[in-house]
């Protein structure tokens, strides 16, 4: 019978094949045997290059290095030791010691890993003398970050230790090495870190190092990290942080002609040095755990607010482009705008121009709700169906970089929201939504959401009369200007340049005769727009209204814009109360180097909105407590009902 | 039927037992080398893996003695019951199983884990042997074929769902047992061609494979037609159907690979086919294992002198990659010896199986040999970089109680059956 031979021959065939393969692997191919990694008498040592420094646009050093010392461990070399004394020396508990030892051992008994990080200099000197007693441990020098300027932690980011998860993602690192976790440090990690060098060292049979392995032919030289120059103006940044003291919110300033980000303030903030050194883990728990102030949350990039009145400018531009208005088209305001037949279909207005014709210019500087409601309604109704009009409007709005990621070189961001017809079809499944239904968008108060950086970029596009450059934060690498097409190619809005002049005129008049007269700066022509964004919050289905947010966008000088800025102050009542003065002080400081309005400056520096935040928090806590109580009652009733049955 | 002698060791095949003991011993030595650390002083330290493995071997011996003490008729008569018990154990995993490393393949009782799929092999081998050994069983008829396939498919599907596709693969290998018992050869031919086409499609891509395979078939047909083995006039529908089937197969392989396979599956094949050189991510294990084996050289670095083994460079070295320990510490001579030992072991079972007069014993022995052969082939093939990463144990070498006991049961049930062969008639 032939069939039984198949198995016999297969087995013999496979065995022969395996033996041949093994002969090749183990005898013929010698490459495996000659690799230095394969020799146990060779130690691997890494040579960490200097991490790149970070400067501001004027050459002020923002991030430097300081020496620090790590204790390294090779678990298999560890011999019996006096744990009590050792723990005492290192100032750790015995449990901690065992835990760290086990962790290192699981990683690899043979390969060195970091046992304890970041000893202080004094500690190092002391330990250095005692280390000979502890076999398997040694001290390695490592560089730590240092921040001469206590500012902009949200921009700079911080460093962290590589953990097991990161190792899987990027094999370049060893356990416990340092890498950028956030901000610039993360975004430009590869530029900043350089490339570590590897040294193979020959050991004799007593495990003593006796020199380089094979005259160092496998060694690699470290390549030092590159220094970065940011577009940030550190002085301006610090000034912004001071002005925002005791307030929450964000400031983003951009140079319109390049898209360079001049400052990116997020408040509350913290001293970047707190995320360095041995206090770091304690501080980090504190900072990340502060769910009330949220200092680790970058409000300039991540906070999405309704834009409020500055958004009216976009609606005006769209109205001009769609030719539903001209600068001379006028509307009337009788204390608001009536968009439906029912008594409550009324949008109030505080422009104070009762019954006399309002043209574009006055509409802007008086921020008339009725005027923009008319413009918006005409835009939406231009094509008959509201859905077509809404989508046309959506395209125009999005061309200003709203409603999507801007593509900046910052590792975080938010899309914001610009509604389109699809979204409203979902909101109103029966259809039947029309311009009056969505009229709140006219004044930036409806579904639209923007982040401060998007608002600043929008202002830059207006300052440039119709185009913008993608905002970015990297200016130079090793003192050589970067050339990245994404940052040098203008992005054009869908609005023709000629429509911008009347708008800019209106924005200029905001200071001359409008809502921001109190923030006028002598000698600088500024175009701006105040905003007051309603602040709703809902807890467990109940809606609460708190103090409105204060918003302001501006650019200056009008003829040749050097700075475009957006300021957002949470619970700041109205636009010209906080955001307006802060924005114009920033502009004044940036253009003139100093400010002359000492009284206003003092009011900003000293003003606090803490009581507002406390009030909001109290309401929130109460709402949550009430809800919990309600739930408890409901539960008890149910239990009673069950018992009754 | 003659009365069986009282001595359970009468008629026992001592050669097979000796081979078994040698493999188990070498297996333990390898596990010791792969898991010992410089701080360990005692061999019988049961907190260490090698210490635990001694306990497992001890329990294996008890199982072995029980297995050869039971009357051989028991296995034949209760094969169905044993099979159903193992299936119930597999189904029970979905309710009570513990998830370890992403697969729900274990029962956990305290610190003790049990993997029923290792015992299901025994059940499947018994059930298949029982089914195929029925008088008048004819594997050329479709109903018998389907029944036999069902016996293998049920545990295979349950195990795939755990998910543990590697272990499920072993059931496919039992088709060779069916072939031995009369399954038409075209099943094997189609199966192997499908595997070859599969690999070729992945290696060369859709278009080139289509063109070259169609070309080859055309040449073959022309050859047949020229020699008057084939008439294009009468049999053209068959030819076209054949082309369509092959084309559809290649196309669906490409489709499945690109659209159904997850990235991790794709990676395994890509690395093996040399399409991507990845020595850090998914290819890390195999790469490290090959370096480790290669570094052993002709004679190896010596017991406990393998610095890559001692330095724990190879992940999972005491389980799936245990063979690399042999390679590093004992060199080419050691690996060859282990391969020859396995070959002798499997061939011994096969020879004994062919000698059986009872077809139940023969088929069970054959199934046992095939199960060992596929474990050996797939595991060693993976460790030396000839096959993609498929996680199944190397019998007697890989650390783990369930697999050791499952294999032990297979061997000793067969030894019992073999010992009783003279009394069957």
ipTM of the complex: 0.88
Alpha-carbon distances, residue B357 vs A94, A176, B214, B363, B419 (angstroms): 68, 66, 47, 10, 12
Question: Mean pLDDT score of chain A, rounded to an integer?
Answer: 86
Report helix, strand or coil for A350.
coil
Is B293 an 8 Å CB contact of chain A? Answer: yes
pLDDT at B278 over 60: no
How do residues A224-243 score in pLDDT, each as one tens digit?
889 999 999 999 999 999 99
Q: Could you tell me the end-to-end alpha-carbon distance of chain B, in angstroms, rounded to an integer?
A: 6
Which residues have C-beta within 8 Å of that of residue A222, sequence separation ≥ 6?
Answer: A47, A48, A49, A194, A195, A196, A197
How do residues B112-168 score in pLDDT, each as one tens digit?
889 999 999 999 999 999 999 988 888 888 889 999 999 999 999 998 888 777 788
**8 Å CB contact of A15 and B342:** yes
More confident position, B318 or B415? B415
Q: Which of A438-452, A487-501, B229-243 has the lowest mean pLDDT?
A: B229-243
> For A596, which DSSP code?
S
pLDDT at A289 over 70: yes
The minimum CA-CA distance between A207 and chain B, rounded to whole Å, is 14
HEC states along chain B?
CCCCCCCCCCCCCHHHHHHHHHHHHHHHHHHHHHHCCCCCCCCCCCCCHHHHHHHHHHHHHHHHHHHHHCCHHHHHHCHHHHHHHHHHHHHHHHHHCEEECCEEEEEEECCEEECHHHHHHHHHHHHHHHHHCCCCCCCCCHHHHHHHHHHHHHHHHHHHCCCCHHHHHHHHHCHHHHHHCCCCHHHHHHHHHHHHHHHHHHHHCHHHHHHHHHHHHHHHHHHHHHCCCCCHHHHHHHHHHHHHHHHHHHHHHHHHHHHHCCHHHHHHHHHHCCCCCCCCCCCHHHHHHHHHHHHCCCCCCCCCCCHHHHCCCCCCCCCCCCHHHHHHHHHHHHHHHHHHHHHHHHHHHHHHHHHCCCHHHHHHHHHHHHHHHHHHHHHHHHHCCCCCCCCCCCCCCCCCHHHHHHHHHHHHHHHHHHHCHHHCC
User: pTM to 2 decimals?
Assistant: 0.59
| A363-389 mean pLDDT | 90
Instruction: List the single residue in A7, A27, A109 with the smallest CB-CB distance to B312.
Output: A109
pLDDT at A612 over 90: no
pLDDT at A269 over 60: yes
How do residues B351-362 score in pLDDT, each as one tens digit?
999 988 889 999
The C-alpha atoms of residue B407 and residue B115 are separated, in whole angstroms, by 13
Q: Which residues of B touch A98 (CB under 8 A)?
A: none
Which residues have C-beta within 8 Å of that of residue A31, sequence separation ≥ 6?
Answer: B294
pLDDT at B22 over 70: yes
Burial readout B206-215 (b: 16 or more C-beta within 10 A, e: otherwise)? beebbeebee
Q: What is the pLDDT of residue B2?
A: 44
The C-alpha atoms of residue B396 and residue B61 are separated, in whole angstroms, by 13
The C-alpha atoms of residue A166 and residue A178 are separated, in whole angstroms, by 11
Is B172 an 8 Å CB contact of chain A? Answer: no
Is B105 an 8 Å CB contact of chain A? Answer: no
The C-alpha atoms of residue B120 and residue B126 are separated, in whole angstroms, by 10
How do residues B90-119 score in pLDDT, each as one tens digit?
999 988 888 877 778 888 887 788 999 999
Is B102 an 8 Å CB contact of chain A? Answer: no
Q: Which residues of A touch B336 (CB under 8 A)?
A: 19, 22
Is A29 an 8 Å CB contact of chain B? Answer: yes
**8 Å CB contact of A22 and B293:** yes
Q: What is the pLDDT of residue B424?
A: 45
Q: Which residues of B touch A24 (CB under 8 A)?
A: none
Q: Which residues of A touch B308 (CB under 8 A)?
A: 38
Instruction: List the single residue in B311, B339, B366 with the smallest CB-CB distance to A15.
Output: B339
The C-alpha atoms of residue A254 and residue A455 are separated, in whole angstroms, by 10
Burial readout A235-274 (b: 16 or more C-beta within 10 A, e: otherwise)? bbbbbbbebbeebbbbbbbbbbbbbbbbbbbbbbbbebbb
Q: What is the pLDDT of residue A207?
A: 55
| A594-609 mean pLDDT | 89
Least Cα distance to A324 among A393, A387, A370 occurs for: A393
CB pairs under 8 A between A and B: 110
The C-alpha atoms of residue B360 and residue B365 are separated, in whole angstroms, by 8
Report the length, in residues, of chain A.
645
**8 Å CB contact of A32 and B312:** no
pLDDT at B20 over 90: yes
Instruction: List the single residue in A10, A19, A26 with the smallest CB-CB distance to B293.
Output: A26
Structure tokens at A599: 């009284």
Q: What is the pLDDT of residue A130?
A: 79
CA A113 to chain centre: 32
Least Cα distance to A260 among A243, A236, A226, A296 occurs for: A236
Is B291 an 8 Å CB contact of chain A? Answer: yes
| A319-339 mean pLDDT | 90
Least Cα distance to A569 among A581, A554, A557 occurs for: A581
Q: Give the dihedral of Cα atoms A159, A162, A167, A171; nearest 10 deg.
A: 60
Tokens 């531009």 correspond to A317
The C-alpha atoms of residue A448 and residue A308 are separated, in whole angstroms, by 9
Q: What is the pLDDT of residue B270?
A: 67
Q: What is the pLDDT of residue B3?
A: 47
Question: Mean pLDDT score of chain B, rounded to an integer?
Answer: 85
Q: What is the pLDDT of residue A205?
A: 46
More confident position, B336 or A175? B336
Q: Could you tell me the end-to-end alpha-carbon distance of chain A, in angstroms, rounded to an integer?
A: 80
Contact B120, B150 (CB under 8 A): no
pLDDT at A36 over 60: no
Q: What is the pLDDT of residue A62?
A: 93
A549-553, B185-189, B230-234 — most confident range: A549-553
Phi-psi region of A444 (alpha: psi -120 to 50; beta: other; left: phi over 0): left
Instruction: List the single residue in A6, A19, A37 with the smallest CB-CB distance to B336.
Output: A19
């Amino acid at each position: 019978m032939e069939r039984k031979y198949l198995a016999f021959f297969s087995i013999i065939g496979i065995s022969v094949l395996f033996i041949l393969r093994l002969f090749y692997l183990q005898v013929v191919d010698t490459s495996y045997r000659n690799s230095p990694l394969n020799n146990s008498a060779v130690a691997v040592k890494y040579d960490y290059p200097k991490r790149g420094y970070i400067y501001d646009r004027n050459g002020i050093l923002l991030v430097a290095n300081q020496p620090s010392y790590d204790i390294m461990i090779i678990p298999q070399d560890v011999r019996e030791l006096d744990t009590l004394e050792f723990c005492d020396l290192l100032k750790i508990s015995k449990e901690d010691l065992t835990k760290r030892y086990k962790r290192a051992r699981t990683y690899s008994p043979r390969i060195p890993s970091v046992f304890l990080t970041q000893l202080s200099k004094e500690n190092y000197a002391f330990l250095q003398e005692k280390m000979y007693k502890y076999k398997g441990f040694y001290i390695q020098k490592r560089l730590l970050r240092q921040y001469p300027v206590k500012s902009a932690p949200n921009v700079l980011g911080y460093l962290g230790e590589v953990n097991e998860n990161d190792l899987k993602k990027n094999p370049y690192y060893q356990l416990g090495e340092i890498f950028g976790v956030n901000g610039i440090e993360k975004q430009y990690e590869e530029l900043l870190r350089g490339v570590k060098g590897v040294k193979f060292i020959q050991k004799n049979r007593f495990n003593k190092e006796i020199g380089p392995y094979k005259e160092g032919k496998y060694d690699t030289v470290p390549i030092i990290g590159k220094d970065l120059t940011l577009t940030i103006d550190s002085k301006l940044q610090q000034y912004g942080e001071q002005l925002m003291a005791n307030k929450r919110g964000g400031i983003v300033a951009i140079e319109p002609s390049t898209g360079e980000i001049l400052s990116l303030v997020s408040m509350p903030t913290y001293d970047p040095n707190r995320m360095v050194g041995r206090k770091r883990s304690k501080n980090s728990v504190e900072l990340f755990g502060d769910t009330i102030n949220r200092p680790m949350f970058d409000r300039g990039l991540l906070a999405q607010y309704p834009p409020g009145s500055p958004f009216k400018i976009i609606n005006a531009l769209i109205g001009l482009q769609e030719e539903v208005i001209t600068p001379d088209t006028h509307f009337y305001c009788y204390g608001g705008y009536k968009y439906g037949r029912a008594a409550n279909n009324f949008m109030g207005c505080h422009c104070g121009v009762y019954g006399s014709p309002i043209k574009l210019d006055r509409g802007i500087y008086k921020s008339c709700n009725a005027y923009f409601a008319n413009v918006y309604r005409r835009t939406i109704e231009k094509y008959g169906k509201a859905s077509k009009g809404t989508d046309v409007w959506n395209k125009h709005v999005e061309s200003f970089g709203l409603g999507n990621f801007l593509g900046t070189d910052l590792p975080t961001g938010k899309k914001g929201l610009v509604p389109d017809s699809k979204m409203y079809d979902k909101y109103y499944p029966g259809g039947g939504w029309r311009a009056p239904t969505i009229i709140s968008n006219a004044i930036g108060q409806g579904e639209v959401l923007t982040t401060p950086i998007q608002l600043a970029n929008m202002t830059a596009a207006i300052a440039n009369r119709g185009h913008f450059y993608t905002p970015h934060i990297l200016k130079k690498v090793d003192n050589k200007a970067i050339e990245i097409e994404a940052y040098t190619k203008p992005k054009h809005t869908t609005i023709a340049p000629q429509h911008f002049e009347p708008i800019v005129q209106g924005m200029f008049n905001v200071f001359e005769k409008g809502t921001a007269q109190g923030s006028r700066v002598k000698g600088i022509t500024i175009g701006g727009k105040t905003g007051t964004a309603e602040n709703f919050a809902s807890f467990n289905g109940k809606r609460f209204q708190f103090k409105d947010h204060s918003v302001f966008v501006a650019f200056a000088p009008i003829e040749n814009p050097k700075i475009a800025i957006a300021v957002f102050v949470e619970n700041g009542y109205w636009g010209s109360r906080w955001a307006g003065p802060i924005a114009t002080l920033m502009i004044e400081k940036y253009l003139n180097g100093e400010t002359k309005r000492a009284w206003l400056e003092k009011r900003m520096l000293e003003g606090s909105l803490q009581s507002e935040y406390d009030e909001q928090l109290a309401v929130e806590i109460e709402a949550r407590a009430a809800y919990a109580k309600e739930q408890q009652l409901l539960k008890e009733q149910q239990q009673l009902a069950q018992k009754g049955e | 039927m003659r009365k069986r002698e009282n001595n359970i060791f009468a008629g026992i095949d001592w050669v097979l037992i000796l081979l078994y003991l040698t493999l188990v011993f070498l297996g333990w030595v390898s596990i010791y080398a792969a898991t010992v650390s410089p701080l360990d002083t005692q061999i019988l330290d049961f907190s260490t893996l090698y210490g635990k493995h001694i306990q497992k071997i001890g329990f294996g011996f008890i199982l072995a003695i029980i297995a050869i003490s039971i009357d051989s008729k028991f296995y034949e008569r209760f094969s169905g019951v044993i099979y159903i018990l193992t299936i119930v154990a597999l189904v029970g995993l979905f309710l009570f199983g513990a998830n370890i490393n992403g697969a729900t393949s274990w029962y956990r009782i305290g610190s003790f884990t049990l993997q029923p799929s290792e015992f299901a092999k025994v059940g499947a081998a018994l059930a298949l042997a029982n089914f195929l050994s029925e008088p008048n069983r004819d594997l050329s008829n479709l109903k018998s074929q389907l029944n036999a396939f069902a016996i293998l498919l049920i545990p295979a599907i349950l195990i795939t769902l755990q998910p543990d596709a590697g272990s499920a693969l072993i059931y496919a290998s039992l088709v060779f047992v069916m072939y031995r018992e009369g399954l038409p050869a075209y099943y094997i031919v189609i199966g192997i061609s499908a595997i070859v086409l599969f690999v070729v499609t992945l290696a060369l891509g859709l278009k080139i494979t289509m063109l070259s395979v169609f070309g080859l078939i055309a040449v073959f047909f022309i050859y047949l037609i020229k020699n008057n083995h084939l008439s294009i006039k009468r049999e053209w529908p068959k030819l076209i159907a054949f082309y369509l089937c092959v084309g559809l197969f290649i196309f669906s392989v490409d489709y499945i690979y690109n659209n159904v396979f997850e990235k991790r599956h794709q990676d395994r094949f890509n690395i093996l086919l040399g399409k991507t050189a990845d020595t850090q991510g998914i290819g890390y294990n195999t790469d490290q294992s090959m370096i480790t084996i290669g570094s052993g050289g002709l004679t190896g670095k010596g017991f406990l002198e393998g610095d890559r083994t001692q330095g724990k460079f190879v992940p999972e070295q005491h389980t799936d990659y245990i063979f690399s320990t042999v390679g590093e510490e004992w060199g080419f001579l050691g690996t060859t010896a282990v391969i020859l030992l396995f070959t002798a072991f499997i061939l011994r079972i096969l020879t004994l199986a062919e000698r059986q007069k009872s077809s139940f014993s023969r088929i069970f022995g054959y199934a046992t040999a095939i199960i060992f052969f596929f474990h050996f082939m797939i595991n060693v093939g993976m460790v030396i970089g000839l096959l993609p990463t498929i996680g199944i144990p190397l019998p007697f070498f890989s650390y783990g109680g369930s697999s050791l006991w499952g294999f032990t049961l297979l061997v000793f049930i067969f030894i019992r059956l073999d010992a009783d062969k003279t009394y069957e008639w």
